[in-house]
A and B are shown apart, each in its own frame.
Chain A
Amino acid sequence: MKAIDLKLLRDLWRMRGQALAIAAVIAAAAATFILSVGVHESLSETREIYYERNHFAEVFAGMTRAPRTVVERVEDIEGVRQAEGRIIQFVTLEMEGRVEPIRGVINSVEDGGASDLNQMILTEGRGPGLEEAGEVVVDRSFAEANDLHPGDEIDALIYGTRQTLEIVGIGLSPDYIWAIAPGDLIPDESRYGIFWMGRRALEAATDRTEAINSLSLTLDHGASEAEVIRQLDIILAPYGSTGAYGREDHLSHAFLDNELMQLDAMTRIIPPVFLLVSTFLVYIVLGRMIRTEREQIGLLKAFGYTSRAIAWHYLKFAFAIAALGIVLGAIVGIWMGRNMTELYAEYYRFPFLVYQLSPETFASAAALALASAGLGAIGGVRTAIELTPAIAMAPPPPAVYRAGTVERLSNLAGFTSIGHMIVRHISRWPGRSSMTVVGVSLSLGLLFSTMSFIDSSSSMLETNFFRAQRQDVSVTFIEPRNEDVLYDLGRIPGVLRVEATRAASARLRHGPLSERVAIESADDEGTLWARIDSAEQEVPLPPAGLMLSRRLADKLGARTGDRIEVSMLEGRRSVSVVPIAATIDELVGSRAYASSATLAQLTRDRAPVGSALLRIDTNQRDAILAELQEMPIVLGVTERNAALVKFEEMIDDNIITMIGFYVAFASAIAIGVVYNSARIVFSERARELATLRVLGYHESEVALVLLGELALLIAIAVPIGCFAGYWLAQLMTAMFSSDLFRLPFAPTRATYGFSILVILAASALTAMIVARRVMRLDMVRVLKARD
């Protein structure tokens, strides 16, 4: 090994503490990058392969009932490659020992579970017979959650008739990767199951012989999806179609897209923060190192080393630290990636989902880390290049301090000499002092903004479950009913209040833009369902016209007062022009609302009740649920509490781990920045500190010079960090928002407090470690050395 490389190794070893602190920040950048990009890649590639192999459709349509022959007509539409009709039927399940509502959806399949599109994969057992009544394949998550195996039986209420389902196999399919029961926010695999049943058997059970209620199609390459949807809507209109839609509106696909978008947002925000800090750190540490090695650099140049060789020597120092960071980051990133992927596998129903780090991702992470370290090294390396041998061999000019603005301020404040030392040192090195402030602020900002996601979740929970939904139970019907059903429900003992709601599919058009939505309405005097805007205010339904969520209005390019064309996709399928009476800034979904009178005018039918909201006496819950399940008109029953519990469980399961990660990563920055600043201040001031000890200052008083400077910088960093965090959190909530939902920005004081405490604790502990060196300061040796 060349002597100059031995120097490099020994320098690294001598400065191992500082090198490790920088490597930790680079590791955090690499880890978060490898985590988010790797998981994104694993998820999207797995999804792609799954879609490809199992022929996931591209366009979907639901309808009340259409003859099977409609499939051939659809296949004739230009651009349609393949079409397939199915029956998809929501059912209520009865399982022994379970009183809470358990729901399922049964899909028709050909003999043995075959289909052309959205093909089901059997993981266990066999497919159902075409005509075998009751034979079903059940989805793997539901089977696992409920300990179901081939040979087991469940009772189901299908289309008002009780039937025993015999499980013959376990499977899963690409149209139910994210399987969520209507009205739920997150999947609940123990209370919502996907089933596949032989086509003839399901036709018989649902009284739809040679009929279908769902269509899936794939398109030719280059075909216009919008045009196919337009023609499809025309063909399906007579059959009670609720409007055709593409993959981007397919619930399972859209949720995954949303997740991918969030991972992407994470990649674009979090690793850059760490990279920025690591650049700062390399800049200040290498800069200091090169200043102290002036004489060595001069010597090397005098010996004939070229400037390029010396530049490369110091760049290698930066790259070695980056390399260590990359290795550490890859280990942590892969480990976190695996854990996160396992978590995804719990919520997303993939046949297989493994975290795989592609060489490209690893290479990108490595390139980013090397680039940020290299960028940080440039300043110092340039100084090294510019030093001429003669200048480099002479001692550096003494640090020049002059009286300036800071001076007058500190005089006004009546500082002691120690106070002057602290303040002047900060103003003597404004660049490094600012970087310390920026670094600590960023760590605080990062911690605050990630922690505020937890606030956002609780706020969403609060808005959705406590302010918007006030019912205990919601009941959906097989088809819209007239108001008599409300009296039937109200007669059940223990039911305290019953309110009707309805949602009717419609296509809204404004100029060239169109969107398929469900127009929702409620009782005019209803109290069980409220619309809460992002300012947490309750917004009433407009007496006339439509109220659109802000996001929907934006998608239509429409504003309050504009008139839009409303084509109802159910009832009498009327087409009317209706004004937008109001918009509402909502967090979840793109939704449209109307008063019940307005919706009745639009649908022109006499069945104003699509579902009912119930407030019940919780002591009689079990009896009420049992009675509801006995009613033939009931399609499904949802308990608000169960959804709430599931949501809270999801948060609770992950919250400790999440906080742990957030704290560890943000602390890595604070520790890296404070440790390096402290070490540099200490090395610059060792001689002064030793002098103070000689003059009779106690160790604690001398440590104050070091700690005081850091404390002052950290004190400045805290308010800046709070602002940075506020801004970063807003940016992140904005970037994490999608069509499906928007995160509320709802930071609490506790989050500010917690973040500040964590960063202060991390900084203080780190500073203490360096301050201990003051205790071990060898006065004699330091004083003997010349500056």
Chain B
Amino acid sequence: MTTEADISDGQGRGETLPVFRAVDLRKIYEVGETQVHALRGVDLEIGRGEVLVLLGPSGSGKSTLLNIVGALDRPTSGQLWHEDTELTGLSDRALTRFRRAHVGFIFQFYNLIPSLTAEENVRLVTDIADDPLPAEEALEMVGLGHRRGHFPAQLSGGEQQRVAVARAIAKRPRVLFCDEPTGALDSSTGIKVLETLAKANEEFGATLIIITHNAGIAAMADRVFNFLDGRIASIDVNSERRPPSEISW
């Protein structure tokens, strides 16, 4: 098993041990009487602490891949490992445990619980994680310590997304999955959110996997996977990651 120390070793650029390894992942959805091939054989390795951006048109398979790697969904065929554990062989319960322990998610529409305050939304995670950050500290990290008693309806979109980020990083995750994290935000708010993500990557060595339509965000990645028709059509490797503040929107 990987320990806390291993994670901090992997800080920064992640050419070391792969966190995820996938072989020939395929996903077929049955929609009525037709079959939709969402993934047509994806092989990949993702390194620890790596920042990855998935680009591609709608329906190209990036969200499907993210859901499978994030243990929200199962592939129709193929194999997926997290370190030395084969995720494709685990029960639903074990997948839940995996998410609970290691994975943070951030969605386009924030998915905060409207009946819980910002702090309580974060506590949803800290209540069940093994060694979480204190909820207050997580909110301080995203710059919302002063608004922790507010309900989602009392927060702006960018603030809500930052609460979602705080909720995702509070468990000190090994990996953060972000599905269009800035999709519903304007540029300056979007950059703030990306900055907090980058900070999580730096401070906890969390692998960051970001789906986006915004090609500009690719500049903050180590590698960029370009999706087309359920396959990774090409991979761009950035020699240097640029901070979100320098990204052109």
Beta-carbon contact of A691 and B111 below 8 Å = yes
Task: Tell which of A425, A699, A780 touches B115, judged by Cβ atoms closer than 8 Å.
Answer: A425
B107 at interface by CB-CB < 8 Å: yes
Contacts of A400 in B (CB 8 A): 114, 151, 153
Separation in Å of the B143 CB from the closest CB of chain A?
A: 22
Within 8 A of A (CB), among B122-180: 123-125, 127-129, 149, 151-153, 167, 171
How far apart sit A421 and B116, CA to CA, in the bound complex (Å)? 6
A616 to chain B, nearest CB (A): 73
The one of A417, A688, A697 in contact with B100, judged by C-beta atoms closer than 8 angstroms, is A697
A658 sits at the interface (CB 8 A): no
CA distance A399 to B107 in the complex (A): 19
Cross-chain contact B120 with A399 (CB below 8 angstroms): no
Chain A hits for B72, CB < 8 A: 694, 779-780
**CB proximity of A709 to chain B, nearest CB, Å:** 11
- The residue that B96 contacts in the complex, of A428, A698, A783, with Cβ under 8 A, is A698
A699 to B93, CA, bound (A): 8
Q: Which of B102-120 contact A (CB under 8 A)?
A: 103, 105, 107, 109, 111-116, 120
- Chain B residues, Cβ within 8 Å of A398: 114, 152-153
With both beta carbons as reference points, the residue of chain A lying nearest to B184 in the complex is identified as: A786
| Given A417-B127, A420-B116, A780-B67; A693-B96 close (CB under 8 Å) | yes
Q: Give how many A-B residue pairs fall within 8 Å (CB-CB).
A: 88
Q: Nearest chain B CB to A772's CB is how many angstroms away?
A: 14
Q: Does A619 interact with chain B (Cβ within 8 Å)?
A: no
Write the chain B residue with the least CB distance to A698. B96
**Interface check A200, CB cutoff 8 A:** no
Inter-chain contact A695/B152, CB cutoff 8 Å: no
Asked if A694 and B99 sit within 8 Å, CB to CB, the answer is: yes
55-113 of chain B: CB within 8 A of chain A = 63, 67, 70, 72-73, 92-93, 96-97, 99-101, 103, 105, 107, 109, 111-113
Q: What A residues does B115 contact at CB under 8 A? A: 399, 401, 420-421, 424-425, 428, 688
Minimum Cβ distance to chain A for residue B198 (Å): 22
Chain B residue at minimal CB-CB distance from A428: B115
Are the C-beta atoms of A416 and B127 separated by less than 8 Å? yes
Contacts of A98 in B (CB 8 A): none
Nearest Cβ distance between residue A718 and chain B, in whole angstroms?
25
Q: State how many residues of chain B have any CB contact under 8 Å with chain A.
A: 36
Q: Which residues of A contact B109 (CB under 8 A)?
A: 783, 786-787
Contact A696 B116, CB 8 Å, known A400-B151, A401-B153, A402-B151 = no
- State whether A401 touches B124 (Cβ < 8 A): no
B129 neighbours in A (Cβ, 8 Å): 696
Q: What distance in Å separates the Cβ of B28 from its nearest Cβ neighbour in chain A?
A: 15
Contact check: which of B70, B96, B121, B167 meets A697 at CB < 8 Å? B96
Q: Could you say which residues of chain B place their CB within 8 Å of the CB of A696?
A: 96-97, 99-101, 103, 125, 128-129, 171
CA distance A693 to B96 in the complex (A): 7
Chain B residues within an 8 Å CB radius of A786: 109
Closest to A778 in B: B73
Least Cβ–Cβ distance between A394 and chain B, in angstroms: 16
Judged by a CB distance under 8 angstroms, whether A687 is at the interface is yes
Q: Indicate which residue in B67, B113, B128 contacts A691 across the interface (CB closer than 8 Å).
A: B113
| A692 on interface, CB distance cutoff 8 Å | yes
Question: Which A residues between 355 and 402 are near B, CB-CB below 8 angstroms?
Answer: 398-402
Question: Complex formed: what's the CA distance from A400 to B128 in Å?
Answer: 26
Q: Is the CB of B124 within 8 A of A417?
A: yes
Cβ of B124 and Cβ of A780 under 8 Å apart? no
Assembly CA distance A425 to B120 (angstroms): 14
Which of B67, B113, B167 counts the most A-chain CB atoms under 10 A from its CB?
A: B113
Closest 3 CB pairs of A and B: A696-B100, A424-B115, A696-B99
Chain A residues packing against B (C-beta within 8 Å) = 398-403, 416-418, 420-421, 424-425, 428, 687-688, 691-699, 701, 779-780, 783-784, 786-787
